Structure 1
Amino acid sequence: MAAFTFGVELEAAYFYTTKPGKAGIISSRHEELAPVIDMSLDAIQRRNPDFASERFRVDEYMLLELERYVAEVVQDFVNALPETSRGEVIPLTKDPILNQYRQWRVGHDNTIMLDFSRSYTYTTLRWAPLEVQSPAMYATEGAFKEVEAVTDMLRTSFRTTVNPSCGLHVHIGWGPKLFPLEMLKKMAAIVWAGDCLFQQMHPVSRRHNRYCQGPRTDSLLEKGHKAAKYNPPSKGVPRSVA
């Protein structure tokens, strides 16, 4: 049997500023906090000389540059970890989509929301909804240490907040292979049978979040469907489920 693999997605709101010297953003009151990301034009072009000045303060380009910078910091940090604190990623395959999950990545997640009306402290800051994604790694002690190390680094390197709209996702896999259909059926049965227990592991804010409802709350089976309809594939898992 192939070894199990996993990957995590860490969601948070990352604070940044285009005017690092502005009063109220960088001050002695905040020395105990992690630094705000400097997204002034000078700072961006020092990190990325190819960044064109006409793209400055254009939301789309600023977000892409922010993602690129955080991803670079994460990857540099991981590359410097000792081998005992590194995980083993899935091997290179002929599938270009699967190969994307062989390194740490950063993307944006529009499900993250902040309500500044509840706090005046950060009203002068800008923020970006980012999701840091780990590679697909075999479930070993080294991989767990790598995820823990990156999580600690993010906490101390970037000023972030994790509110109830943010999530932590853990994906599991079977290496570079697809789960056999019979194994998926057994997993689905366990999730259905234990859903009430699994939900108790989540904070109340997540139990009532529409993005993470359990199968006994929001699924075809819960809605009364007797059997799933699918097109039997030649091998592996179903291609589509109605």
Structure 2
Amino acid sequence: MADENTLPPTSPLVLTFGFELEFAVKSLPDQFLDLEPNDPRRVYGITRPENYPKDQFLPYLGSPDVIEENEVLHEETLKNFNAQLDALQIDIAKLLTENGLPAVAQLDEQEPENPSIEDLKYWVISNDATINHGLSHNPNEPTYFWWPIEIQSPAYIYNEDNKQKVRNVLRCIDSVYRTNCDLSADIHVHIGNEQKGLDARTVRNFMAFVYTFENQIATIHPPHYMTQRAFSKPVRTHSLLAQVARDYRAKIEQLGAEESLREFDEDFIIDNILERDTVDDLVKLLSSPELEEDRLYNRLTYSICNLQTDAEKVKKTIEFRQHKSTFDDEEVYHWITVCASLVHFASTVDEEVLRKFCKEHFYKTVDEFSIVEVLMALGRPAQAYYYGIRLFARKDERAEEERKLRKEIEDENRKKEQEREHRRNLEERRRQEEEDLQKEEKRLEQEEKKRQQEEEEEKRLEELLKRIGKGDL
């Protein structure tokens, strides 16, 4: 079934990729001593605006949020914060450009009237307020300030030379600035087919594969990316398809047909994905049901909403949103390779072979069918070796991380449940008090009514006695 949303075949693909990295950069006002003098990387002067007087210290920055109640001070601090952040972006762009990697600060970027992928030819240095930033929370370094930075690569043709350029950028920045990569920052990788987009066949094959092996691929990343803490939630738990599947599973369980659940998952989920004819249908099915409420914050780990018919025409990409922020250029190299390999595999694999393969492995655990075997199925032995060695070396450490994370989440959930129980108790208490108050008001109302009736009865008796005394009766 074809319509205007069914794109023509795009094989062979001309794979393109974009790379985005979020991180923080440490700076220090000129008037303070550097507590890390043996670190040769720069902290002084990196946020000084070009037109700022050379004989004056930069203003010391507090947090704009902390001083928000003082409107004048808040505005002045925010103005200084933005000026210094702009200066840092310009400084980073200048560094990359001088090292043969053309870059521009976002504030200097020119927006073309009719943008195309050819316009995405510079590294763009911008900022992201979701990254932890501000005065250092380390009591041993109270004067340092962390700045939230995001860098975006050009739209590169996927090849070894361009992957090497990404590695060069990471080395260049990390060798000059003191950087920090925590769990508030991520890496996003975009994989596209130049500006053409991807056809429904490639997209459905891709989504069937990553839906099946999402748990295996997740072992590449820190454990929190598959939990409620993750900024971008897993497709296998938070997509519309996952929600619909849960509803159907609940009905099957109510009917007492639990033995049918395994077959249901394999058939319902995989067939549902592979039988979609349009990209728009796939986007709706495999995105968050709340996507349209906020297309930035409600994207899942594998985001295909950029491929929608009405999406922007330049970045027609699949976005991978679950990698931790890092300046480890080897790790980044292998992850970009994995992302591109997943899309290339989806564009070439036989659909019936894929259908059978996904159904056979849908219920396999990460121990029964590991990321090494997934990568070998993609034809990526180098990445299978790289991640296999890392996972083996960190097996005990990761198990401990997962144990701690489970405990933290259990504690959080327990605390939330206690808070909910407390609110329920307060609500029940309030309801009971209102009910008691209503009863008391009703009792008082009845007493008042009875008192009035008694008064009226007394008046009638008095009137009757008066009339008897006068001989009127």
> Is TM > 0.5 for Structure 1 vs Structure 2?
yes
1:130 aligns with 2:141: no
Is the 2:101–2:169 contact (alpha carbons within 8 Å) kept by the matching residues of 1?
no
Count residues with an aligned counterpart. Answer: 215
Q: What is the SS of the residue equivalent to 2:231?
A: helix
Q: Secondary structure at the match of 1:96?
A: coil
> Is 1:45 aligned to 2:55, yes or no?
no
Q: Which has a greater percent of helix?
A: 2
Task: Answer yes or no: is 1:215 the counterpart of 2:222.
Answer: no
Alpha-carbon separation, structure 2, partners of 1:65 and 1:115: 16
Q: Tell me by how many angstroms 1:181 deviates.
A: 2.2
Distance 1:144 1:10, change over 3 A: same
Are residues 1:188 and 2:207 paired?
yes
Pairwise CA distance, 1:100? 4.4
Partner residue in 1 for 2:268: none
Match of 1:5 among 1, 13, 16: 16
Match of 2:43, as an amino acid? V
8 Å contact 1:15–1:37 — kept in the other structure?
A: no
What displacement does 1:129 show?
0.8
* TM superposition shift of 1:148: 0.7
Structure 2 letter corresponding to 1:137 = Y
The one of the two structures with greater contact order (alpha-carbon pairs below 8 A, sep at least 6) is: 1
CA contact (8 A) 1:180 1:237 kept: no
Q: Could you tell me which of 126, 130, 134 is aligned with 1:111? A: 130
Map 1:32-71 onto structure 2 (within 5 A): 32-39=39-46, 41=48, 44-45=50-51, 58-71=80-93
User: Structure 2 vs 1, CA of residues 40 and 133 (structure 1 numbering), >3 Å: closer, same or farther?
Assistant: closer
Give me the identity figure in percent: 22
Tell me the amino acid that sits aligned with residue 232 of structure 2.
C
| Secondary structure, aligned partner of 2:51 | helix
What amino acid does structure 2 have at the position aligned with 1:239?
T
Contact 2:224-2:230 within 8 A present in 1 as well = no
Identify the structure with the greater strand proportion: 1
The aligned residue for residue 49 of structure 1 is none
1:14/1:128 contact within 8 Å kept: yes
Larger Rg, first or second structure (1 or 2): 2
Deviations 1:192-229 (A, max 9, x none): 11111111111124333432322012211111177899
1:157 partnered with 2:176:
yes
Report the CA distance shift for 1:16/1:183 in structure 2 as closer, same or farther (over 3 A).
Answer: same
Matched position secondary structure for 1:222 = helix
Specify whether residues 31 and 57 from structure 1 end up closer, same or farther in structure 2 by C-alpha distance, changes over 3 A only: farther
Instruction: After superposition, give the CA deviation of every residue in 1:123-146 in whole Å (9 maximum; x if it has no partner).
Output: 212221111111111111111111
**Are the equivalent residues in 2 in contact too, given 1:103–1:135 (CA < 8 A)?**
yes
Matched residue SS, 1:212:
coil
Alignment of 1:168-183 (within 5 A): 168-183=187-202
Q: TM-score, normalised by structure 2?
A: 0.40
Q: Distance in 1 between matches of 2:100 and 2:77?
A: 30
* Whole-angstrom distance in 2 between the partners of 1:176 and 1:7: 12
Q: Deviations over 1:82-122 (max 9, x none)?
A: xxxxxxxxxxx994164442210111112212596752233
1:155 is displaced (CA, Å) by 0.8
Question: Residues 45-81 of structure 1, C-alpha deviation per residue, up to 9 Å, x if partnerless?
Answer: 38xxxxxxx999522333223222212222322349x
